[in-house]
Chain A
Amino acid sequence: MNIIRYIIQKEFRQIFRNKAMLPIIFVMPLIQLIILSNAATFEVKNIKFGYIDNDKTSFSRELIEKFNASTYFNVLTDYPTAKMASSAMLNGNVDVVLEIPPYFERNLLKDKKTDLSLTINAIDGAAAGVENVYASQIVQQFNKKAQIDFRLQGVAIDQQQLIETIPLFWYNETLNYKTFMVPGILVLLVTMITLFLSGMNVVREKEIGTLEQINVTPIKKYHFIIGKLFPFLVLGLVLLTVGLIIAKLLFNIPIIGSITLMYGYTIIYILVILGIGLFISNYTETQQQAMFIAWFFMVIFILMSGLFTPIESMPKWAQILTEFNPIKYFVQVMRMVMLKGAGFTDIIPQLLKTLLYAIVMNGLAVWSYKKVS
């Protein structure tokens, strides 16, 4: 036990002595948290909107005015011809083009129906879908108003039965994107710092040559691994704490669930990440190699974590792969506990899987650390 204490003492001394690393460990992640939480949003806003008005009547102008009034659309240009509109879209100057046909008003008054053409830049399919919904809503509103106008003018039209849905948004009533993103980004930062630091740690001693000196001592393998893990576990928890304070003070993210539960889970989670880091460290010869491998896993873990894209919409095989992604569980738990106030029994599945993962990875880390080559 004493031996472990000496290793921990030495690791902490080295961490706090490294004037270049200390700011990287603490300041960089927090800057990232602040910047990313504000920037990483999927809300579709400021859509570049253009139109071709072949009708030029009060009706067509009224429709365009409705787009203008919407907060989602920035009405940019009135294109004289469809050709000009399509070349503007090619250049990326416009995202959505509405084409109002000639005789729009006349047909509407005479036949009670007419067509509109909406062209959407769908390179980003998800955004295009959202833009379509926004545009349809505006046209719908216009439609409704036209119906009322007609009725007032005594024109008989088919009464359309309308079913209106009034959504109720649970857990994040104001649909604040930051409420969704901040817990996730916090997870990423804790993961990145602990993975990179632990991944480079043992291999660094290999490079300097001190590992050989350690291997010549009668120190037990588990002493060494525990002594190496513990300081980074503490660092990870400190980082989480600072992150949570920022989340609360700066972004006003609700923390509904139990803080103890959150920390308890985080400890197990960080052990998984540190186990992975030490495992990488044991199998590499230089810090550069360790860094590349750590990045490889990091990118896969992040993109398949459900943080940016829902796991439910991934193909089946990818969904199975995400079962092995520790970040997925941490993101789930953080969102559940922080935003929904989930209790211990709610997170048991994630907890058990993470615990199993931690045991396996640290077992591998101890096993793969060879004092004798």
Chain B
Amino acid sequence: MKKENAIYVENLTKMFGDFTAVNNISFEVGKGEVFGFLGANGAGKTTAMKMLIGILKPTSGHAQVASFDVASQADEVKKSIGYMSQRFSLYNDLTIKENITFFGGIYGLKKSVIKEKTQELIDELGLKDEANKLVKSLPLGWKQKVAFSVSLLHNPRIIFLDEPTGGVDPITRRQFWEMIYREAHKGKTIFVTTHYMDEAEYCDRVSIMVEGKIEALDTPKNLKTQYKVDSMNQVFLKLARNIE
């Protein structure tokens, strides 16, 4: 094993028939890091992430998440990670409280812990009046915040966020990133995909994926220097254009 890494990926490849969705990628994410995983639509981000969270089998190569192998120790990986997908992942026909109870329950939390966490979460998000409302009645931004909090219920060491702020207004996005930072300060590792380049600036390090390969990986500052531009947006456009 390499030094204390939260995520360690080596030559990871995923093929669907003849199509190579993820082409031989390797990278590491350190503990407590906020790691931005960027790329255009169809670049292979979601596929790569699905392999890391243990719901998609790699074609070749291997990956370790929280020191567990994603292919052979998927259940151990799943205990150590939280995941929030771009598709809204709470039950719309349950209330906020019921969603928390359910997800807490299937992670095996004790009843008393669930109760405590529920109270904590509702206070933190200021959702006291909404706690017994159906999730479908909430605005999208709130739903995403609740979903993020639910993914933290079992106190995971690493959190995977797949386009968590898609379709959310700028104020909520800002609040969302404040939540992400709070978790990072607690020592949690954040692995996040996004299409918003301003969000990329918030990350400690970012990788940019183009057509299944990681074309660039560094801190936002270094990337900007390297490509002689002054925003991540331009870095992204340059990389994507070069490939075309």
Give 14 A-B pairs besides A6-B104, A209-B85 with Cβ atoms closer than 8 angstroms. A5-B105, A7-B105, A9-B101, A9-B105, A10-B91, A13-B94, A13-B98, A17-B94, A208-B87, A209-B87, A213-B90, A213-B103, A218-B107, A223-B106
Collect the chain B residues with CB atoms within 8 Å of residue A285's CB. none
Name the interface size band of chain A: 20 to 34
Interface residues of A in 211-227 (CB under 8 A from B): 212-219, 223
Against A, the Cβ 8 Å flags (1 = close, 0 = not) of B3-40 are: 00000000000000000000000000000000000000
Is B61 positioned at the interface, with any CB of A under 8 Å from its CB? no
Establish whether residues B98 and A209, one from each chain, have CB atoms under 8 Å apart when the complex forms.
Answer: no
21 A-B pairs, CB-CB below 8 angstroms? A3-B108, A6-B106, A7-B105, A10-B98, A13-B93, A13-B94, A14-B91, A212-B55, A212-B85, A213-B83, A213-B85, A216-B55, A217-B78, A217-B106, A218-B75, A223-B106, A371-B54, A372-B54, A372-B74, A373-B55, A373-B56
List A residues at the B interface (Cβ < 8 Å).
Answer: 2-3, 5-7, 9-10, 13-14, 17-18, 208-210, 212-219, 223, 371-373
Collect the chain B residues with CB atoms within 8 Å of residue A210's CB. 89-91
Is B53 positioned at the interface, with any CB of A under 8 Å from its CB? yes
Collect the chain B residues with CB atoms within 8 Å of residue A213's CB. 83, 85, 89-90, 103
Collect the chain B residues with CB atoms within 8 Å of residue A2's CB. 105, 108
Collect the chain A residues with CB atoms within 8 Å of residue B88's CB. 209
Is B102 positioned at the interface, with any CB of A under 8 Å from its CB? yes
CB within 8 Å for A216 and B106 given contacts A208-B92, A209-B89 = no
Q: Tell me, rounded to whole Å, the shortest Cβ–Cβ distance linking B98 to chain A.
A: 6
CB within 8 Å for A216 and B54 given contacts A3-B106, A210-B89, A371-B74 = yes
In the bound assembly, the distance between CA atoms of A2 and B67 in angstroms comes to 28
List B residues at the A interface (Cβ < 8 Å).
Answer: 53-57, 74-76, 78-79, 81, 83, 85, 87-94, 98, 101-108, 134
Q: Tell me, rounded to whole Å, the shortest Cβ–Cβ distance linking B91 to chain A.
A: 6
Q: Which of A10, A215, A219 contacts B55 (CB 8 A)?
A: A215
CB within 8 Å for A17 and B106 given contacts A218-B78, A373-B55 = no
Collect the chain B residues with CB atoms within 8 Å of residue A208's CB. 87, 91-92
In the bound assembly, the distance between CA atoms of A9 and B55 in angstroms comes to 25
Q: Tell me, rounded to whole Å, the shortest Cβ–Cβ distance linking B146 to chain A.
A: 13
Collect the chain A residues with CB atoms within 8 Å of residue B56's CB. 372-373
Question: Smallest CB-CB separation from A371: which chain B residue?
Answer: B55
Collect the chain A residues with CB atoms within 8 Å of residue B108's CB. 2-3, 218
